[in-house]
Amino acid sequence: MDAAGLYRGPLEDFVARRSALVRELRSTDREAADAVGKLRKPPAGVWAIDQVVAETPAHIAELLAAGADAREAQGNVAAGTASREDLRIATGRLRDAVEAAARAAVDVLAGAGHTATEDTTRRIRSTLQAAATGGAADRQALWIGTLDRDLDVAGFGGVGEPEDDPSDLAAVLAPLRRRSESTTRQSAPAPAAAGSKGLERRQAERDQAKLHTAAERAREAADAKRHQADRLSDEARTAADEATIAEHAADAAEEAARAARAAIRRSR
């Protein structure tokens, strides 16, 4: 099991998974074991977001792409290279992506027997938007499913930041990114009226191909994470079995020690 594996599986078993990982690391990397021991159990809503990452990564990929486009649009408006309409479109897409991912998280909560209160749902939305539009660390935690706390939206904090997304995440998001209308108008020549329908059709075909590529990459990421989750689940079950055997051995040793002490007392 690794640190990411802590955030997979039932919420009520998080502490047990963390303890198992600490024991696993203690003999080989005490510093890492200490760091894992300090990892926080996420609130229910954040735990649900982490499960969405594993179960339906396409929701998170769309959200991160929308967040990147919204940050870019905000920066372009500030620089005078995009219009307010571009920003309105980008933030509308971000809002839709947040809602889709939030609904998936609420479904996870319901499926696990947790109540999604109005406040919990609100905090899920806030955390999703804050992670998607925040710094690189929050974006990466959202993508790999290791968020451990609620986040608050503080505007487009990522505008102008020098940190890029990791190459594997950037590759998934690239076909989902959308150029602003202003940028398209500035860089592309105006089509002839007679050929505009053909250009629109070709653009629609290109957009469809991009979405198909993004879906394939998201599915590949989902399959990889599912394989990892299955492996971690097997390892967790093995560790639990070994812990049970060790506990039984400890109980037997303690019982033998008590019997020995009693025998010594009787012999005096």
Establish if 184 belongs to a structural domain.
no
Q: Which of 10-19, 102-111, 172-181, 211-220 has the lowest mean pLDDT?
A: 211-220
Structural domains of the chain, count: 1
Establish if 225 belongs to a structural domain.
yes
Establish if 154 belongs to a structural domain.
yes
- Mean pLDDT computed over 62-80: 92
Q: Which of 60-69, 81-90, 150-159, 194-203 has the lowest mean pLDDT?
A: 194-203
pLDDT at 154 over 90: no
pLDDT at position 229 is: 52
Establish if 135 belongs to a structural domain.
yes
Q: In percent, how much of the chain has pLDDT > 90? A: 50
Establish if 186 belongs to a structural domain.
no
**Structural domain range at position 82:** 1-177+193-268
Compute the residue count for the chain.
268
Average pLDDT score over the chain: 80
Establish if 224 belongs to a structural domain.
yes
pLDDT at position 193 is: 47
Phi, psi angle pair for 166, to nearest 5°: -55, 155
Tokens matching residue 135: 């710094």
Establish if 185 belongs to a structural domain.
no
pLDDT at position 267 is: 76
State CA 179 to chain mean position distance: 25
pLDDT at 66 over 70: yes
Q: In percent, how much of the chain has pLDDT > 70? A: 70
- Mean pLDDT computed over 233-250: 61
pLDDT at position 231 is: 61
DSSP H helices, the chain, are 14-26, 30-37, 44-55, 57-79, 84-111, 118-133, 136-144, 167-173, 181-187, 196-267
pLDDT at 211 over 60: no
Q: Which of 151-155, 191-195, 205-209, 257-261 has the lowest mean pLDDT?
A: 191-195
pLDDT at position 204 is: 57
CA separation for the pair 37, 93 (Å, rounded):
39
